[in-house]
Amino acid sequence: MPEPNPFETHSTEYDAWFDENAAVYESELLAIRELLPPAGDWVEIGVGSGRFASRLGIPLGIEPAQAMAALARTRGVEVLAGRAEALPLDDASVDAAFLITTLCFVDDVDRAVREVARVLRPGGHAIVAFLPADSRLGELYCARASEDRFFRHATLPAKQRVFDAIGGAGLEIERTVQTLTGMPERANERIERPTEGHARGSFIVIRAAKRCRAQFSP
């Protein structure tokens, strides 16, 4: 018999992590805020319990787990049922799409990022935030994944894997920032402001643009 989906059966336990790790959560929020695109129609894909969307002003989320979606709705986020690889959104319908710690839970990273590119309007932005497998905290999570009811279902992607997926979807990376650059066991001791780049952080945020097609006169 398949193991029950922990995001359905233990949604409140997952959500409580953000209260128990408040400094890490605030550090991640600061990093994402550093790369926020211009205002417009925004969506978070894999919105979970709405912890990020509600704080960042993202009004719409996509989420496959009903229990998680219910928590997000209590935080004022409108949620549509759906998966990252098959978004219930029209082509060129949003100005910004956020993937925040989502790629580690999708079945097909490339397809998920291509879906982001599909739903973005020309000139729109993808904000991709993730915990890289090739980071100090990522290595620790991978080593302990079998002990965690949520992360044993995750596959943390390496940094280059994410960069390749973004480029393969036709999106152009504009900027990256990083946080959680210290030792993993001390990550929750203080709120860390983001710094440029992606070489040292255990939480990386990428902003990538969908370029407008050139217009040619007849």
The per-residue pLDDT for range 82-95, each reduced to its tens digit, is 999 999 999 999 99
CB-side neighbour CA atoms (13 Å) of 204:
29
Say yes or no to pLDDT of 216 above 70. Answer: no
Q: Domain 6-209: which CATH class?
A: alpha beta
Domain ranges of the chain: 6-209
Average pLDDT over residues 137-150: 76
Q: Are residues 29 and 52 in contact, defined by beta-carbon separation less than 8 angstroms?
A: yes
Confidence band for 145, pLDDT divided at 50, 70 and 90: low
